[in-house]
Amino acid sequence: MKKLVFLFAVAVLAATNLDAQKYFTKEGNITFHAGTKVEDIDATNAAATCIIDAGTGDMEWSALVKGFKFKRALMEEHFNENYMESNTYPKSTFKGKIENISSVKFTADGSYKVKVSGKLTMHGETKDVTTDGTIVVKAGKITADSKFYVNPADYKIAVPSAVQDKISNNIEIVVNANLAELKK
**Mask: binding to another protein, 4-43, rule CB under 8 A, as x and -?**
--------------------x-xx-x--------------
Backbone angles phi, psi at 84, to 5 degrees: -90, -15
Residue among 10, 72, 128, 140 that touches another protein (CB under 8 A): 72
Q: For 127, how many CA atoms within 13 A lie in the half-sphere containing its CB? A: 14
Strand positions, DSSP E, 18-162? 22-33, 42-53, 58-64, 69-70, 91-98, 110-122, 125-138, 141-150
Whichever of 26 and 105 has its CB closer to another protein, that residue is 26
Cα dihedral sign, 105-110-115-117: positive
Stretch that binds another protein, among 1-9, 11-19, 68-76, 134-142 (CB under 8 A): 68-76
What amino acid occupies position 95?
Answer: K
CB closer to another protein, 9 vs 46: 46
Q: Is 66 in the site for another protein (CB under 8 A)?
A: yes
Which phi and psi (to 5°) does residue 23 adopt? Answer: -115, 145
Does 62 help bind another protein (rule: CB under 8 A)? yes
- Of the candidate spans 7-15, 73-81, 131-139, 140-148, the one that interacts with another protein by CB under 8 A turns out to be 73-81
Work out whether 87 is an interface residue with another protein (CB under 8 A).
yes
Beta-carbon contacts of residue 11 (< 8 Å; ≥ 6 apart): none
Tell me, rounded to whole angstroms, the distance of Cα 164 from its chain centroid: 27
Residues that bind another protein (CB under 8 A): 24, 26-27, 29, 44, 46-49, 62-64, 66-67, 69, 72-74, 76, 87, 90-91
